[in-house]
Structure 1
């Protein structure tokens, strides 16, 4: 009783703050519990919020609704913005390469899930707020729940009705985690797939394919090139191929465009596989000699980070590196190696592999900054400015044919799309859109915890009653359909019709649900990176589709 009296003596803001912290702490502990890699994960915060919200309501404690509303939306904005910053640099690349097939499979799962959801609405007459919550919970996609609650609010739906989305999410979430694991096991069992065979096929296919930026050594046998300057060799420069070293006899040298080529010279080339193959046909033949080490020679190589704003937006050709006696053989951006062309524009955080004489390499470092500590700092000016733009873009009505009302990206979609574009651009005037991975993870975790805790607290007073006396158990049953039908149909079709490697397919299935526990389950089946590659390939596109889908459903069925 004394505790209850003390709680009643607190202000609404203090009480709401305490409830948020309690839900966050309990939820993270609950989400950390797992059995064989399977657990609630971050979803544990929602269930803790529901628990705390139920008991605060039963005790007659009043939490500030305005504060919970602000925390919910602010947490959502932080979460989706950091997701966009994370996936942005590689987002467009995943739509172009071998990931295209993976993305088509994942997009099919999303679209079939939306179709199943809409069909259940007409068959079972499920209210739209509960419907979009069920869909987000059935695919374990929390940003989708955020988008759903935001668009319902924009549509003028009362707060007590909006809470049905959170309730639907909560009852569908557990099977959303289990359902994808059942699908993986079913595909493997029914089709009698052997993991060892899949591992071998994956490794063989990977060995045949080129690395992201392979390097080869080519000896010059073409007599037509004798005495010709390197700069005049067809397609050798400005086509994404870089000559980082030249060996003549026992001497290892740094090549320049003016250097005269002789028969027997060995060139160390770095670039896209197709361009390297073309250069072999022009120069001579590939040889298996080691030019990767500069030990014992007058050359060295160092990785230099682009950290000065003076270098941002400049092209490699603007630095006059050849005149300075150095060259850039590789450029790594957000974990992806880019072909080095003279027209390549630099961004903050790019890691350049610079080759040349030690003194010359040291001399060019100031041109790029190379301040390692700068890579550990969050560019908060860019974060705040980016979120400001995202809120503005999310509030712009966009008319689509067939929809009765304009679509808004909202506080979920606006910051997400903006972050993807800005992280791709890299900087805008004085604002730099770079975030260290550790800081990105911390802010993303904070945002989603605040969002889920606030959602749980607002819906907690109705959860037990809905589950025991309302439609909670039937909603749970419908959520199973939304989870299982798309996964089973597309999963079996991808394997039987398109012959997708099972390990890669498991990663794609996990990515289509944006479900880290499912990815952990898939990676534990094999020592290869197949599942992780599949997951990463589809994650950016799926995340955008999962956020936009609830908005389209609400606007189509309610307006």
Structure 2
């Protein structure tokens, strides 16, 4: 396993034109190594389950808040994905009959092309044999490969989104100083009430202090405005004019600093809950979360590992450090109680089986169960003293480890079946059908998402969830830094698994 992951990482770093396979390299190396000896792929079911559960749970935690906030806007995309899956299932049945592929193997090819292990389990139950596993192992690599190529094309040619809201993570926030020529209340400034800009410093009659939330600005005042470039320009135009002497450069009276949120009593609280203006005479202007800058609106929920920028009067540094914790070591550790409880509940949810007509059954499994629980807990942030979310760095580390274990184990366990059929006439027909299915599904999905006005980042992430492949999400994450990627993935991953489980049984038996 460790050699497969290590060599797979090397393969994933090799460029093939504009494409790098990234974490998916572990899958391809695993297939090659697993083909050498059947013993190498034995007994890896627990490793696959654990790796997949770790990956999808951490994705759910990170995407939960964004998913539920944007759920209404994503409903058309979710409905369209169901239509595409139904069409692809119909094509799978027709293509299998035309190519002379047994129905059971066609069901496995459908599950493999859309990389759904739970769907494979449903197909195996419906067929009453292991024949679907052969089709799955042949089509699975094609599903990963073709999807990554499509994602590479999509992310290389971004388009304008008509109906997709801009991300709250404003990449490239700026702060400028402006002189007030049009006096009035702070709330009258464009973007203040909407949470698009924040004001921090105020210079009046030669004295500098932190601006009050209910401030009435006077002519001649100078203030610092923070936000995206467009929002800041609108606010400055309303106020008067921009000045070149930046107030933030003078720290003799008012100071600013980033504090690391390591205090678990602060995590899961909003900026408003902390009452920094009332308690310390300061103001929170922005939050750095991973590689993203977020404007610190009053309703922004803080998470462990956030770096919070506070403007405050000198002399309050120690008090603020105690409030936030400000410990790098504190955010490098996870809370085993919350993390393991969440994963355990997700796995238990995945075990619940619902009988279906015809003797079949439906279960979320170890993929969708932890994802759904992670999304719910990510939306809650905390329950009483328990903080469910993980520090961003810890989340990404666990996510990567889980993904590599899952892909490496999947490759090793499928290597023998892949090698046995890959170069036979029947195997080649299955591979071609797999390419047809995933190519049709990916292209139709992208076209549908674009027609619905979805952004490039959300479309790429949603395609990864639609296909159901963690390696594709990891590939997108390496090319695009946008919260809509994970939100799109989370919105379609669980839905896709459910729909595929239902449809694959028809493909297998028709």
Scaled by the length of structure 2, what TM-score is found? 0.75
CA distance in 2, matches of 1:519, 1:413: 20
How far 1:411 sits from its partner (Å)? 0.9
| SS in structure 1 at match of 2:286 | strand
CA distance in 1, matches of 2:214, 2:153: 60
CA RMSD of aligned residues (A): 4.9
Corresponding residue to 2:239 among 285, 288, 292 = 285
Residue 119 (1) aligns with residue 91 (2): yes
1:551 corresponding residue in structure 2: 501
Residue 463 (1) aligns with residue 439 (2): no
- Matches of residues 124-523 of structure 1 in structure 2 within 5 Å? 124-125=96-97, 130-131=105-106, 133-135=108-110, 137-138=112-113, 144-151=115-122, 155=125, 160-161=130-131, 163-164=133-134, 166-170=136-140, 172-173=142-143, 176=146, 180=150, 219-220=179-180, 225=184, 240=195, 242-256=198-212, 261-270=217-226, 285-290=239-244, 291=246, 293-295=248-250, 297-321=252-276, 322-333=278-289, 337-338=293-294, 340-342=296-298, 344-397=300-353, 407-469=362-424, 471-489=426-444, 515=472
How far 1:552 sits from its partner (Å)? 3.0
2:54 corresponding residue in structure 1: 78
How far 1:532 sits from its partner (Å)? 7.0
CA distance in 2, matches of 1:363, 1:499: 47
The 1:547/1:330 distance shift into structure 2, 3 A limit, reads same
1:5 corresponding residue in structure 2: none
Corresponding residue to 1:69 among 45, 53, 60 = 45
1:6 corresponding residue in structure 2: none
Q: What do the CA deviations read for 1:429-463 (whole angstroms, capped 9, x no partner)? A: 44433444554444334333333343334333333
The 1:260/1:122 distance shift into structure 2, 3 A limit, reads closer
RCO (CA 8 Å, sep 6+): is it higher in 1 or 2? 2
Q: What do the CA deviations read for 1:17-55 (whole angstroms, capped 9, x no partner)? A: xxx445445544444444334355434433443444433
CA distance in 1, matches of 2:267, 2:485: 31
Aligned residues: 494
CA contact (8 A) 1:180 1:483 kept: no
CA distance in 2, matches of 1:211, 1:459: 43
Q: What do the CA deviations read for 1:512-557 (whole angstroms, capped 9, x no partner)? A: 7663797599x6xxxxx7x978856744434444444432323555
Scaled by the length of structure 1, what TM-score is found? 0.70
How far 1:285 sits from its partner (Å)? 2.8
The 1:458/1:516 distance shift into structure 2, 3 A limit, reads closer
CA distance in 2, matches of 1:403, 1:452: 33
Higher Rg of the two aligned structures: 1
CA contact (8 A) 2:181 2:220 kept: yes
| SS in structure 2 at match of 1:244 | strand
CA distance in 2, matches of 1:38, 1:271: 35
How far 1:370 sits from its partner (Å)? 1.4
CA contact (8 A) 1:385 1:431 kept: no
CA distance in 1, matches of 2:169, 2:264: 34
1:42 corresponding residue in structure 2: 23
How far 1:299 sits from its partner (Å)? 0.7
CA contact (8 A) 1:133 1:145 kept: no
CA distance in 1, matches of 2:191, 2:78: 39
CA distance in 2, matches of 1:343, 1:403: 49
CA distance in 1, matches of 2:102, 2:393: 40
| SS in structure 2 at match of 1:300 | strand
| SS in structure 2 at match of 1:49 | helix
CA distance in 1, matches of 2:107, 2:508: 12
How far 1:82 sits from its partner (Å)? 2.9
The 1:358/1:160 distance shift into structure 2, 3 A limit, reads same
The 1:237/1:481 distance shift into structure 2, 3 A limit, reads closer
Structure 1's unaligned 5+ residue stretches are 1-19, 189-194, 524-528
1:526 corresponding residue in structure 2: none
CA distance in 2, matches of 1:239, 1:532: 21
The 1:26/1:162 distance shift into structure 2, 3 A limit, reads farther
The 1:395/1:183 distance shift into structure 2, 3 A limit, reads same
